[in-house]
Structure 1
Amino acid sequence: WTGTEGMTREQLETSDKIGIKDPTGLYGFGGYFAHKIVPWPEDNEKGWYGFKNLTIFRYAEVLLMYAEACAMTGDNDGLQYLNAIQNRAGSAHVSSTLTLDEVKNEKAFEMWIEGVRFPDMVRWGDTDGIVNNGKNIPSTYDAFFTKKEPKHRIYVEYSNPNKGQTGFVKGKHEYFPYPKVTISRNPNLQQNPSGL
């Protein structure tokens, strides 16, 4: 955004200094962008964003895991921690009962795009909805550059670059495969089904 300081919204809408300039678009982006992972200015180290403040594990996830364990065992103690996260986030919905569905919904909101959803879905047995993942991959484009429109407009097109079977396969993808070097060093180790 260098050179856009002080520009009005109307000026930005027609400026060639912003937007998705790559004619191939942004592969894998479905028309929305994860502002929660955009680096803050203080993350800029020596002129580049090194993500020195990259979060590996958040306390909110610890509370949600505890709430999940309580929901699974019928212990209502986890409700206070689920509510604490909902109240901190300013949620319009604050759970009145502790159920696994309440925890699942809150975890989807709280941990969005933080790389924990897939292991959660496998643990919960909720993988039926991802059996076709990878069939249609979105790419996001800017019509200002690709269609020569007078103002920036984001649009999405889908492609199917993956041939054959894609998505989750029960009985195969629950575990990651062991690396080949690990298998070769330990002949007693059986490869996980995902590596076969």
Structure 2
Amino acid sequence: CLICLEGNAAPGFQGIRQYTGPVYGDGNSYNLPTQELYNAFSPIDPRRGHTILDIEAFIAAQTDPSSITYAIGAGGHTGYYNNKYIKRQGEIGLPDNDLTSPVNYRVIRYADVLLMAAEAHFHLGNNQTAQQLVNQVRVRAGVPGIPVQSLNDIYKERRFELSGEGHRFFDLVRTGQAAQFIDGFVTGKHELFPIPQVEIDLAGGNWQQHSGY
């Protein structure tokens, strides 16, 4: 199994289902950005386009839109795809191309480090330093700086900068906001995933299941 040895399966999972056309390869239409996320970005923020592919706008901009087709996945359709992790045409010839991609999974980025530092400085009362760090990220992205007057300003910047990279759930959990933003989230339970029962059994019952499961 090549997924066990090399590459990154995320572009295959998050690509456009049964897509035929230029630029992109096909995929499974998982992890779809929402309209709410799209609207949250400023229209002048270049990160919106780098993060979110508006599939209908993309098709309309092509020289032969009628030649482009795609299907809607079982998980529904928002009209948007995670542009950071979509398989490109040049990857289609790879062995087992649905499961491997040369696109690296971004475990940590310098912008993430800057925003973590900004959050820490704000907690310490170093608001000016926090603002400088946030705006270092924004200026690099090509958007104007902002006043940082609350932790929420930093949380929002993390969302804009790191969307689609796997941080949002954990940011919401650690900041105590998960129940506010995630439908069906139960505080005191869903912060952790359940331990598989087979693992508890193999441990001779010495492991205690997480609360609520």
TM-score band (shorter)?
A: 0.5 to 0.7
Q: TM-score, normalised by structure 1?
A: 0.64
Partner of 2:206: 188
Range that drifts further, 184-193 or 169-178? 184-193
Q: Which amino acid aligns with 1:14?
A: S
Give the C-alpha shift of residue 188 in structure 1: 3.4
**RMSD of the TM alignment (CA)?**
3.0
Distance in 1 (CA, whole Å) between partners of 2:187 and 2:22 is: 50
Partner of 1:126: 177
Give the C-alpha shift of residue 85 in structure 1: 0.6
Distance in 2 (CA, whole Å) between partners of 1:3 and 1:127 is: 38
Distance change >3 Å, CA 181–CA 72, structure 1 → 2? farther
Partner of 1:31: 79
Are 1:74 and 2:125 counterparts?
A: yes
Distance in 1 (CA, whole Å) between partners of 2:94 and 2:205 is: 47
Partner of 1:46: 94
Query: What secondary structure, in the 3-state scheme, does the structure 2 residue paired with 1:46 have?
Result: coil
Are 1:107 and 2:140 counterparts?
A: no
Q: Is the 8 A contact 1:71 1:98 kept in 2?
A: no
Report the count of equivalent residues: 153
Distance change >3 Å, CA 46–CA 79, structure 1 → 2? same
Q: Structure 1: give runs of 5+ residues left out of the alignment.
A: 133-166
Q: Is the 8 A contact 1:178 1:191 kept in 2?
A: yes
Partner of 1:12: 64
Structure with max Cα Rg: 1
Query: What secondary structure, in the 3-state scheme, does the structure 2 residue paired with 1:193 have?
Result: coil
Distance in 2 (CA, whole Å) between partners of 1:4 and 1:104 is: 36
Of all paired residues, the percent bearing the same amino acid is 34
Distance change >3 Å, CA 43–CA 128, structure 1 → 2? same
Partner of 2:141: 89
Distance change >3 Å, CA 9–CA 85, structure 1 → 2? closer
Are 1:177 and 2:194 counterparts?
A: yes
Range that drifts further, 64-73 or 180-189? 180-189
Give the C-alpha shift of residue 190 in structure 1: 1.7
Distance change >3 Å, CA 109–CA 191, structure 1 → 2? same
Which one has the bigger strand percentage? 1
Distance in 1 (CA, whole Å) between partners of 2:143 and 2:179 is: 28
Distance in 2 (CA, whole Å) between partners of 1:35 and 1:73 is: 36
Q: Which amino acid aligns with 1:122?
A: V
Give the C-alpha shift of residue 10 in structure 1: 7.0
Q: Which amino acid aligns with 2:166?
A: G
